[in-house]
Amino acid sequence: MSDQTRRVWRAGSATLVLVSAFAITAGVVIPILAYLIYRNESTFWLPALLLVLTALALLYAWRFGIHPRLLVTDQTVEIINPFRRHRFEWDDITVIAPGENGLLIGSEDHAAEAWCVQKSNFASRHGRITRADRIANELLDIVELHDPPMEDVEAGVRIRRARPDEGRLLTQLERAASERALAHVFPPQQFPYPESAVARRWRQVLRDRLMHVYLLEAQDRPVGYVAFNEDTVASLGVVPEQTRHGYGSTLLDFACMEIYDGGAREAYCWVLTDNHAARAFYRAVGWSETGDRRQSEYPPHPQSLQLMHPNPRAPRRSL
């Protein structure tokens, strides 16, 4: 993409039609009404007031309906809202996600919502793909031109950014990865899988500018996921039929590399105390327990423990 072929998105067609109809009505009907009042009643103040209202209505239609836009060049993406502009360098963008108030674009420093591209909460809850999703995915494709996914062509493995409309997919992957491994911790007869709560959490995570969510694809099929922030691996999983292929280690190594590249001295994660397989996995790749404990968020709220892995490139403190 070049500046000569830059993209501009404004409000949707239906919105622009309504705004245009409002502007035409205000710009034609109200002045005619003002003229008729002046002609019939020979009064000046009421027609003048109507003309002022016409100007305000046209200004409102332009400023809130036509002026807002999303401007994309090869260097930046710029959000132009009614009263403020926000500019982001492609390399700094950490989140792009549709929302009811606008398309969220953010970096680790700040975030803004593009008013001209919106997705209703109803569409979000029901997993409907809208114009906002298509624009978000197109922008994420540009992000990946600047920071390509990790790919092993020979092995047919790729780690890519999760898309904002993939909350349902992430929920399915997490359920597949955890139900069998954690049946002894969350007996399904007593504690059915909290799918709605997990789906809601993924929707929130995908809109969090400080969280990074990636999917691992094997032969173009999503089989694993990882989510992390500046120093903590928050979620990691691989579907049962794809374990023992090294995908979990690949995802963990990738997350740690990103965390260490951000300057963290250590990487952390939380594992259920009774998840012995996961604890053995982390110990085998050099993680150690810190001694911190907390309760997990889902009933029956079993205990979790914190693990830590030092950044091998960080300078060691001297005594």
Query: How buried is residue 233: exposed, middle or buried, by Cβ count under 10 Å (0-12/13-18/19+)?
Result: buried
Query: How buried is residue 58: exposed, middle or buried, by Cβ count under 10 Å (0-12/13-18/19+)?
Result: middle
Angle at 227 between CA 187 and CA 293, to 5 degrees: 55
| Helices 167-179 and 195-205, packing angle to 10 deg | 130
Mean pLDDT of 139-153: 91
Query: What is the Cα–Cα distance from 249 to 236, expressed in whole angstroms?
Result: 10
Please report which confidence band the pLDDT of residue 315 belongs to, taking 50, 70 and 90 as the band edges. Answer: low
For residue 180, what pLDDT is reported? 85
Residue 81, helix vs strand vs coil:
coil
pTM of this structure:
0.86
Query: What is the Cα–Cα distance from 202 to 162, expressed in whole angstroms?
Result: 11
Query: What is the Cα–Cα distance from 306 to 317, expressed in whole angstroms?
Result: 22
Query: What is the Cα–Cα distance from 141 to 177, expressed in whole angstroms?
Result: 28
CB neighbours (10 Å) of residue 69? 17
Domain boundaries, the chain: 1-148, 149-319
Instruction: Dump pLDDT digits (tens) for 224-266.
Output: 999 999 999 999 999 999 989 999 999 999 999 999 999 999 9
**Which CATH architecture does the domain made up of 149-319 adopt?**
3-Layer(aba) Sandwich (3.40)
In DSSP notation, 210-258 reads: T-EEEEEEETTEEEEEEEE-SSEEEEEEE-GGGTTSSHHHHHHHHHHHH
Instruction: Dump pLDDT digits (tens) for 87-131.
Output: 999 999 999 999 889 999 999 999 999 999 999 888 877 778 899
Contacts of 15 (CB under 8 A, 6+ apart): 65
Instruction: Dump pLDDT digits (tens) for 184-196.
Output: 999 999 999 999 9
Cβ distance 267 to 311 under 8 Å?
A: yes
The tokens 């593009």 sit on which residue?
114
What is the 8-class DSSP label of residue 275? -
